[in-house]
A and B are shown apart, each in its own frame.
Chain A
Amino acid sequence: MNRSIISAEVLPFLGRFGALVLATLIVDVFLHLLGLAWVGRYLGIPGTLLILLSFFYSMRKRKLIAIGRPKTLLRMHEVFTWLGALMILVHAGIHVYAILPWLALIALLVTVLSGMTGEYLLERGRRHLAAKRAEQAAAGLAPVAVEQEVFWDTVTVDAMKQWRTVHFPITLAFGVLGLAHILSILVFWQWR
């Protein structure tokens, strides 16, 4: 247990996030090979709908609705936001023309990252820290010395605990920026 939380937990966690980026690339290449790149243009719609559906968990947690089991809705929230983020990433593609939709995309990615921190990382980080403390104490170190040994891991876990502080406001930012993007499309789209 000499590895830090960053190498033991954070890097593999980033690998999970990287799976989202890899899935985006695979889907994009697949669509281009089949001559269906135009599908990506419209994937923003189902992607947004999936993310909106995922908010049933948020409403249930705040008792705005009474239907559904929180645990089931939380799992639905995690899956739908991952799939919705995938569709929106494919929709965004790699071309950068307008600033607003890319700000919305960055907000989306920060939201996903902070949410995944709460989902995967925090509990594993806490367990890793507790195990490391126990190991150091078993080796005969005094409590002060133990805290010195696990100082940076403690800082890392404390940072992870703040995931909600990031997740909620950035979700608001994503919502507002995404809505502004959708409104601009509605106003300027070539409907005929």
Chain B
Amino acid sequence: MNRQRVFYVVAANLVVLLALVLLYPHLMIAPGHLIKAHAALEHDCFACHTPLLGSRPARCQQCHRPNEIGLVTTKGLPIVDTAKLTPFHQGLVERDCVACHSDHRGVRPYRQIARFSHRLLQGSLLEQCSGCHRAPKNELHQALTGNCGQCHNQQAWTPATFDHDRFFRLDGDHNTTCITCHRGNDYTRYTCYGCHEHSRAGIREKHVEEGIYNFDACVECHRSGDDKEGGHQGRSGKRGEGKDGDADEDEEKEDDD
């Protein structure tokens, strides 16, 4: 085999391949097909890419105006099914499209669009849960307005993270609606005088008999409706505390049946 001949054959092939790179970049160097919506751009790398810089948000925004994303298509037609996908691009901290979106199939493992983070949102929007999340139409949520953060966190909206058993076990007669014990939509405070079973006079009578004079912060001793599970801290006369550590000065204590 003539070495020089082999060398020239290889060199000629390389020239042809390099020409193919310039003529058919979508086949030779693109990391996978584009998403269907961008198929028309498959042959034009520089429609999105700025050489040596990458895909700049300004290029995306030429067609996708941030104020319209999720509301209107790039052709100006209104998006009908907003109940399915809540528009949120209007409230992003930074407009970095490729942080979440990857058009090329081969890049998708590294930019996962399903991985939404609340940290992407502006601070004012973080407190407005109802801006994106609709409360279920069930009895529990019917009476609630706001205060979502007491049970839901921004790492995972569901399941709700609140464990009521830590404070009081809701079994038997105590498996009732939230508003029976929590008034005014404030779950940091409670009252045990919200139902007919507990009256202030009756409770006082029972406790004073036992030498217990602190019967305002009920859950300090009672963690369920079972009398046998009661503790004895109340004898010290120590004032009780609510869920958030504040002293219980609730107006609800005035409620009597």
Contacts and interface: CB of A to CB of B under 8 A. Distances in A.
Interface string B32-54: 10000000000001000101111
Interface in A23-67: 37-38, 41
Contact of A192 (B14, B28, B53): B53
B32 A97 contact: yes
Contacts of A180: 17-18, 21
A95 interface: yes
- Judged by DSSP, the binding face of B is helix
B7 interface: yes
- Judged by DSSP, the binding face of A is helix
A100 B17 contact: yes
Bin the interface of chain A by size: 20 to 34
Contact of A162 (B1, B10, B25, B27): B1
B201 interface: no
A181 B18 CA distance: 10
A91 to B, nearest CB: 13
Interface stretch (A7-15, A81-89, A124-132, A165-173): A165-173
A186 interface: yes
Interface string A96-116: 011111010000000000000
Interface string A178-192: 001100101111111
Given A165-B3, A169-B7, A169-B10, A97 B54 contact: no
A121 interface: no
Given A184-B21, A192-B53, A165 B1 contact: yes
Contacts of A142: none
Interface stretch (B65-73, B102-110, B148-156, B158-166): B102-110
Contacts of A176: 14, 18
B30 interface: yes
A98 B30 contact: yes
A163 to B, nearest CB: 11
Nearest to A192: B54
Given A162-B1, A191-B52, A181 B10 contact: no
A38 B111 CA distance: 11
B80 interface: no
Interface of A: 37-38, 41, 95, 97-101, 103, 162, 164-166, 168-170, 172-173, 176-177, 180-181, 184, 186-192
